[in-house]
Amino acid sequence: MENCENSGFSSRPGIYSCAVEQAARIVGQKWTLQIVNVLIDFGECRFCELQEALGGVNPSTLSARLKMLEEEGLVGRTQVSAMPPHVVYRLTEMGAQLSSAIHELTGWSRRWLCAADAESQPAQAVSPSSETELSGFQTLHRN
């Protein structure tokens, strides 16, 4: 992995910091957050259990995501020698630490993106005090 900067942005204008790039590279892939979320909820899962819980994921896509998550250190894969032999997937300590981020993202999505919440709480414009602050910010940065 690259050595990441402590700041929110890199020294090059317009380029996000390595921390955001690295996280987005992993969790930005389709089905990745959903896989992690299922493993947070269920602990250990077999491949078929994950596929069922996710509904609609192509088996080859699920397999590729699990392999990537394992290579990145977020998911552990254990071969179980019980009859019949099978594999179970679980989050590593690193993967489990995504729990709070997923919880926050879920709350944000429920509030702003989900249909039921969108109808009951439509997005509101910036508050008057924020408009004043924003106006001042824009004035300062137009020059």
Q: Are 118 and 124 in contact (CB under 8 A)?
A: no
Query: What pLDDT, on a 0 to 100 scale, did the predictor assign at position 13?
Result: 52
Query: What pLDDT, on a 0 to 100 scale, did the predictor assign at position 8?
Result: 53
Query: What pLDDT, on a 0 to 100 scale, did the predictor assign at position 121?
Result: 54
Q: Which two tokens stand for residue 31?
A: 């089905």
Helix residue spans in the chain (DSSP H) = 18-27, 32-42, 47-54, 59-72, 93-96, 99-112, 115-120, 128-142
- What is the full per-residue pLDDT of the chain (143 aa) written as tens digits? 455 555 455 555 555 578 888 899 999 999 999 999 999 999 999 999 999 999 989 999 999 999 999 999 999 999 999 999 999 999 999 999 999 999 999 999 999 998 654 565 555 555 545 444 444 434 333 43
Query: What pLDDT, on a 0 to 100 scale, did the predictor assign at position 53?
Result: 97
Count of Cβ atoms closer than 10 Å to residue 39 Cβ = 26
Give phi and psi for 12, each to the nearest 5.
Answer: -85, 130
* DSSP for 94-127, written as a single string: HHHTTHHHHHHHHHHHHHHTSHHHHHHS---PPP
d(Cα 33, Cα 10) in Å, to the nearest integer? 26
Query: What pLDDT, on a 0 to 100 scale, did the predictor assign at position 20?
Result: 84
The rounded radius of gyration (Å) of the Cα atoms in the chain is 20
